[in-house]
Amino acid sequence: MRIEARVSNTGSGHTLEVSTDGCPQSITILPKASGKGSSANGGELLFAALATCFCNDLYCEAAKRNLRIRGVDIEVAGTFGKVGEPAQDISYRVKVEAEATASAIDELIRATDVVAEIHNTVRSATHVC
């Protein structure tokens, strides 16, 4: 699966386009009030990616187990220090409402943690060139 992202920013606009295997879509993020850059910062988008990945993978893992999820709430937090330093103390909380026992939901969350690609990418400190 090939994933791409492209940000274009000018004084008159800001666009974010993503694509998976050649299927593009736009994500609306407003420009900064000055027009120079995005109103959302990279840390926010990284944490949104962690939450989104976990959410999507929860539904996939639930389907494998024939569990019906009624709702999901995922919260990701961490800190960034000085300019150029990586994030520290990234953590997440997951709440799942499903037609399942508490132990089945706990197992679903643990299994999802193992397969969540964005989490695994951050954990492995992948080289970016």
pLDDT values of the chain reduced to their tens digit, one per residue, 129 residues: 899 999 999 877 899 999 999 999 999 998 888 888 999 999 999 999 999 999 999 999 999 999 999 999 999 999 999 998 989 999 999 999 999 999 999 999 999 999 999 999 999 977 888
Residue 11 pLDDT: 79
Task: Check residue 109 and give its pLDDT.
Answer: 97
For residue 68, the model assigns a pLDDT of 96
Distance between CA atoms of residues 43 and 9, nearest Å? 18
Contact 69, 104 (CB under 8 A): no
**Using CA atoms, how far apart are residues 81 and 87, in angstroms rounded to an integer?**
7
Neighbours of 7 (CB within 10 A): 13
Q: What is the DSSP letter of 83?
A: T
pLDDT of residue 89: 94
Domains of the chain with bracketed CATH = 1-40 (no CATH), 42-124 (3.30.300.20)
Chain centroid to Cα 117, Å, comes to 10
Calculate the CA 87 to chain-centre distance. Answer: 15
CA distance 2 to 23: 10
